[in-house]
Structure 1
């Protein structure tokens, strides 16, 4: 029953569940059938005295506007070459010693 509750939870507020007795509702599905006995040949067998484990798959929703940009911002702080370029741009001048401390490939792009 928990499995079905989780499956239809996202539609809460948009659906109305109505009980129909067995005589009226002839095409019943797995929810209304009798449960299998708790024996070792049952795939859902839980040994007597043990705590049942309920595994729920969750969905992790992140807000791209905050977490993504924070990760990008933090990665820029860790990049040596980017830090040098932003320092050069902040100074609004060409500091030769600072520019020469960049990796060669970055130096070529900066000089052009």
Structure 2
């Protein structure tokens, strides 16, 4: 195995990698990826919807209540479900767009400070968040 110095990055403040913007203190979503999502039309087939959910799902850790928001669209991917964009599904699509465009930066943890784990569950979904204050 060899290291290519041309591909190495040293002393960077920010680095774009795998659709994220990484810094010493935070992890954010690459603005070009957000722009691509905002330009995407409403899906008209299951295949298009699956691609969309895969794309947005990649950033799920940045989107609060992702599973609950995406649920109407996820159910539409079921094998025996007829593809129909109802009002609820269009609303879910727009909510995912909005959530992705306003997604917060995730800060790197400070292991010298305590953590708090919050968990919530219902018949519709499960959520957990690890916080540091």
Q: Same fold (TM over 0.5)?
A: no
TM-score class normalised by the smaller sequence: under 0.3
- Larger radius of gyration, structure 1 or 2? 1
Task: Tell me the TM-score normalised to structure 2 length.
Answer: 0.19
Q: Which structure would you say has the larger RCO, counting Cα contacts within 8 Å and 6 or more residues apart? A: 2
